[in-house]
Amino acid sequence: MSDTQSTADENNSQERRGFFTRRGLLGTGGLATAVVFGKGLVDASAASAAPAYVPAQLNAKDAHYSTTFRRITRSTGTGSAVKVLPLDRAKFQVGSTFDLRVEATGVDPETTRIVIRVSDGSGPAPLLGPAPVRTSSAPDSVEVTYRDFVYPAAGTFTIAAAVSSSAGSASQEVTHEVVLADASGETAKNVIFFLGDGMGQAAITGARILSKGITEGKYDAFLEMDTLDFRGNVTTSGSDSIATDSANSMSAYMTGHKTAVNAMGVYPGNSEDPTASPRVETMAEVLKRSRGMSIGIVTTAEIQDATPAAVFAHTRRRSEYLDIMEQALTPEQMPDVYMGGGRASLLPQSQKGSRRTDERNLIEEFKDKGFAYAGTRTELSAVMAAGTPDKLLGTFHNGNLNVYIDRRITPDPAVLGEFPDQPGLVEMTRAALKVLEKNDKGFFLMVEGASIDKSEHPLDGPRAVYDTIELDQAVAVAKEWAKDRDDTLIVVTADHNHAMSIAGTHTLSREGSPARQQNGVYADAGFPTYVDADGDGFPDDPNPDVQLFFGWSNHPDHPDDFAHNPVLAQPALEDPATEQAFPNPNRDPGAVVQIGNLPLEETNCVHTVEDVFIGASGPGAQRFAKLLDNTEVFHNVIAALGLQIPTYSLRSSGGKVAEAEVAATEATPAG
């Protein structure tokens, strides 16, 4: 036997005695430490000689930490560079407003000159106003911004920028496509837009199995989202990465523009100030300004979270909840229905649970603007019973609403805490439709099943699937409301995919150790034994003998017995001493640790890059029956509405030029 083979056999023998995590390889040389969870393939005592590193403290880490709380940094490089924002190949609606910015870096602000030229298919286009905003966000940068820039006609426009200074010179040219919606023919008056956060195909398939049943390989029925008239797929990548987060992916739907991880309603600019990036007009702003439509937002997340906020907000950093709430109170951006969690951002700092840094009570400020308010499920029923209000605010939890399993299937006072009386998506959607239908100019309602994603991050398949069923039942409410109408477009999609897959079944009563031996694949999978005795579409018990076997394409080191967890438990926690992930010892005690494949600091699984489903019914729905870039979803909604944004106040070119030279010495230091 060779030395190599001997070493391999010895290592295999060690692995059979216990499952070592990557934590054991973090020493300066050789195997410094090892962690053994459970029995491995034989008794754990066989590995007792291996020293175990146990952190003195373990902390839960936000699943979106690497995006939500990441520091905004300016890209650096050598030499001078210039960037035109919006980016090359950006697409616009005629009449929509945006900030046109030229950013020069690696320059000497004292000697910088920036020349900007605008042209269309016919030649120079006089669209540059006389008073751009000049800033300098860093000692070697200059920015020139034309606020509320507008393309007044359809066609192709080119922006060319050239910068020169004593430090060097650079240039860039971008082309923009401008389109005008066709207002003739059948158009929609209302849009109901459903967003399953992280709702990949596994979540949809799992929901169909659990909610509708499957017999001898045929589904007993289909989901409401399955039976929409047209189906397609959406690509999800952002401007900075193939892997997106919920902020920039939802922003693409709500603006028609690409942006970067962590950003919404803006193109990321040079400044570290999250409010200083150049803006693009959002769905809420366009529809309120151009047609006087009402805007509704319903979510199971905090109402300031990435998906709901992207309907109306502008920020480079999605965690700016207090600023997002400030924007929500601005008339041009204000939703007319605004329901979910997130009360902590509205309460004065002296009240328990507040995250504010002042004594403002935003609930009272919304009331002063004509909103009825509900803080519980009971209060929501009472508000609606008293007469449909013109505007409605509901915050039913300081944070995110609890997931459906914890709210309705197995409610646990220890989990629900001070919020035992939370409504669900179905009730909130019904209430929102009653309020919004009062506007004869129409409405746009966004409904988010947020905790599909928030359950997938900690590798909790059952909770993700039950929340997918809840979203589908909200879709049923919308379809029922619209069934006798021919003026409402319903769209259902996801913002990104996730790591979850369904590989077969897991049988609790099957003999075998470790727990993976209880997983059935191919013919051994058979069918799960979920029972829905009361016919409400949700299995009565999420933990039957034969249940779905969930797999994960990416994950940290974590223990897993593959069965439903009565209480959601994080797969890994952060060791503050190393700032790296460590398997959660309180999740599935005794289970084998599954070796991870993510960077060592990641405690949860992450979003994946695959395309997502989109389905639609109603006027304009056929536009969604193909593969779409996520920015095209916005333009398809505008086209379905037949919306032509008024440009009557923008037609004059008086004082505007096709070419401008800007001296950086006139720039105002930013920040």
What's the first-to-final CA gap in the chain, in angstroms?
Answer: 69
246 is catalytic: yes
- Is 557:581 a contact under the CB 8 Å cutoff? yes
Residue 436 structure tokens: 């919004």
Instruction: Report d(CA 397, CA 395) in Å as an integer.
Output: 6
Helix H, strand E, coil C: the string for 159-207 is: EEEEEEECCEEEEEEEEEEEECCCCCCCCCCEEEEEEECCCCHHHHHHH
Q: Where are the beta strands (DSSP E) in 326-478?
A: 337-341, 371-374, 391-395, 443-449
Q: Which of 237, 311, 259, 317 is nearest to 72 (CA)?
A: 317
Which residues, including other chains, have CB under 8 Å from residue 236's CB and lie 6 or more apart? 244, 249, 495, 496, 497, 609, 611, 612, 630
457 in a known ligand binding site: yes
Query: Residue 424 in contact with residue 365, Cβ under 8 Å?
Result: no
Residue 307 annotated as part of some ligand binding site: yes
Q: Which residue has the tokens 């593969």?
A: 627
Is residue 607 annotated as involved in ligand binding? yes
In DSSP terms, 143 is beta-bridged to 103, 135
Check the annotation: does 305 bind a ligand. yes
Number of neighbours of residue 567 by Cβ within 10 angstroms = 11
| Region for 324 from its dihedrals, namely left if φ exceeds 0, alpha if ψ lies in -120 to 50, beta otherwise | alpha
Helix (H, G, I), strand (E, B) or coil at 466: helix
Residue 220 one-letter amino acid: D
**588 known ligand binder:** no
Q: Is the peptide bond before 514 cis (omega within 30 degrees of 0)?
A: yes
- Residue partners of 363: CB distance under 8 A and separation at least 6: 343, 346, 347, 373, 393, 395
Q: Report the Cα 519 to chain-centroid distance in Å.
A: 32
> CA-to-CA distance for 238 and 610, rounded, in angstroms?
13
How far is it between the farthest Cα atoms of the chain?
Answer: 89
Q: Is 556 helix (H, G, I), strand (E, B) or coil?
A: coil
**Residue 486 known to bind ligand:** no
Which of 164, 165, 239, 246 is an active site residue?
246
The angle subtended at Cα 450 by Cα 447 and Cα 455, nearest 5°, is 155
Rounded Cα distance between 72 and 61, Å, is 20
Per the CB < 8 A criterion, the answer to whether 519 and 506 are in contact is yes
Annotated binding residue at 495? yes
For the chain, what's the residue count? 671
Question: Does residue 429 sit in helix, strand or coil?
Answer: helix
Residue with token string 């902020």 = 247
- Token pair in block for residue 519: 């997983």
Please give the annotated binding residues for Mg(2+), written as ranges: 197, 305, 307, 448
The catalytic residue positions are: 246
Please give the annotated binding residues, written as ranges: 197, 305, 307, 448, 453, 457, 495-496, 607
